Amino acid sequence: MIRLTSLLFVFFITTLLSGCDKKDEFSSLSRILERGYVNVGTVFGPTNYYSTATGFAGFEYELAKKYAQSLNVELRIIPSYSIDELFIKLNTGEVDVLASGLSITKKRQQRFRFAPIYETITQKLVFKQGKVRPRKIEDLTGRLMVTSGSNYVENLEKLKKKNSGLTWQETTEFDIEELLAKVLSDEIDYTIIDSNSLAINRSYYPEISIGFSIDKPEPLAWIVSKNSHDDILASLVEFFGSVHQDGTLLGLDDKYYAHVEQFNYVETRTFIKAVTNKLPLYQTLFEKYSQEIDWRLLAAISYQESHWNPKARSYTGVRGMMMLTLATAKQMGVKSRLDTEQSIQGGAKYFKRMIAKMPDRISSPDRIWFALASYNIGFGHLNDARIITQRQGGDPDRWVDVKTRLPLLQQKKYYKKTKYGYARGEEPVKYVDNIRRYYDTLSWLDNKSQEQAIALALALEEKKLEKQRSLVTTEVTTAVNEDVDKNERVNESEK
């Protein structure tokens, strides 16, 4: 009896302690600070987290880095292709926070806790251009497929209550980019995508058209577990208050979305066609003279300037692939602006000079955007806009602040107080946005081309190995058959 009581006591204490341990598994600020890192879960994609030639990028990734820095801990990204998988990891404590452009919905509010709102998006039903545009749910006549675990499913379930004929398929196999490709290949008729993600993807898939918005605008927020401690949520409240106040969110929004908000179908299609037909003629020259800058950025500048036309000429007298003035060409050692190689070499040299002129305290990518604006409007006019920005309380070292003041150079009450006077300040803003858009599209196409080349090389290598295995199998089979025949002949002779 005493032994049984002792065992029960031990069991009770063990259960109590394990319960405490279980509680400690979930996120708390003190636990994060003690171990020195924060685990942030996100879904792979162009708005969240993706790999580039120079490292990782993505709106959510950069915001998560800022959060880790605010806590003075290391950021550990836990990426996934499935939001359902991340929800599980959040509930088991493997992930501290989910940062993946997630909407606040009633069902999710029952399961999780939300940090402050930082963005608002709408869900767009999209289809292939050239087909009949659906303007409401009742117009859907084909196959609709959406990602499983997404808030699209929750909204579709609500819509089905009033539209009993509404049907859709859910997939865990394909991400949103693959679903857009399926729409274009006629494998499915419709899919649903968030407006911010659509803005980016239309630069790569211009034939994607918008049917209608699925629901009213939805707020986005980071998510923590219901079991998480209050201190981690408090840290997120403080963090988002800070990034709203100091312009971090505004800067990230400009970096990832501002230049793709205005979509032009014809312009995008023309550029993609030029990448196929014209760029191969000049790519080696862009690579040769780009040196420390990305050759694709140099190519994007050239396309904005001349549409890759070596004989291009404007009404202002600038000419060639990089549309150099006579004065600039002379400074850069260009003897003939119509010589393709000389023009690219001179344009690259001039652009690098613009980058070098920027104060060291201006970091990339703002440094690049300022250099592009200087390439277009001149260093003096850019500095005038930066001075106006400072006078108005903005940050003269941030492109997102300066670009809103550049158009003021067209207004007399502003330009009369500047050193270099009047300038068409709207032009460099559009110029930089266009180049950024071309650069994004070119980078995406180039990466896709490399992926396809690698896949083809692997397929050829596998085919080669399969052929070698087949030859070996044939040789072994032949050798075995010869041995069998030899043994049979020996047996026959012995008989």
Domains 21-117+221-260 and 123-216 share a fold: yes
Do the Cβ atoms of 359 and 370 come closer than 8 Å? no
pLDDT at 455: 63
218 CB-side CA count, 13 A: 23
Extents of the domains making up the chain: 21-117+221-260, 123-216, 265-435
Which residues have C-beta within 8 Å of that of residue 44, sequence separation ≥ 6?
50, 79, 80, 81, 175
CA-closest candidate to residue 150, choices 240, 50, 242, 82: 82
Residue 92, classed as helix, strand or coil, is: coil
Helix (H) or strand (E) holding 1: none
pLDDT digits (tens, 9 = 90+) for 339-380: 999 999 999 999 999 999 999 999 999 999 999 999 999 999
**Assigned fold of 21-117+221-260:** D-Maltodextrin-Binding Protein; domain 2 (3.40.190)
Instruction: Return d(Cα 480, Cα 450) in angstroms, integer.
Output: 45
pLDDT at 314: 85
Architecture of the domain defined by 123-216: 3-Layer(aba) Sandwich (3.40)
Go through the chain and tell me how many residues it has: 495
Residue 161, classed as helix, strand or coil, is: coil
Instruction: Return d(Cα 207, Cα 266) in angstroms, integer.
Output: 10
Residue 246, classed as helix, strand or coil, is: coil
Instruction: Return d(Cα 83, Cα 358) in angstroms, integer.
Output: 42
pLDDT at 349: 96
CA-closest candidate to residue 432, choices 351, 356, 359: 351
Residues of the chain where predicted confidence (pLDDT) is lower than 70: 1-26, 53-54, 451-462, 464-465, 467, 469, 472-495
- The one-letter amino acid at 175: D
Helix (H) or strand (E) holding 57: strand 55-57
Please tell me the class of the 265-435 domain. mainly alpha
Q: What are phi and psi of 279, to 5 degrees?
A: -55, -40
What is the pTM assigned to this prediction? 0.76
Instruction: Return d(Cα 300, Cα 296) in angstroms, integer.
Output: 6
272 CB-side CA count, 13 A: 16
Annotation marks residue 305 as catalytic: yes
Reading the block at residue 146, the tokens are: 């959406």
Instruction: Return d(Cα 487, Cα 468) in angstroms, integer.
Output: 29
Catalytic residue among 261, 305, 341, 426: 305
Only one residue has tokens 């820095």, namely 69
Beta strands in 81-234 (DSSP E): 97-98, 112-114, 119-121, 123-128, 145-147, 169-171, 191-194, 208-213, 218-220, 223-225
The CA distances from residue 253 to 69, 297, 399, 412, in Å, are 19, 20, 12, 31
Residue 480, classed as helix, strand or coil, is: helix
CA-closest candidate to residue 203, choices 456, 413, 8, 435: 435
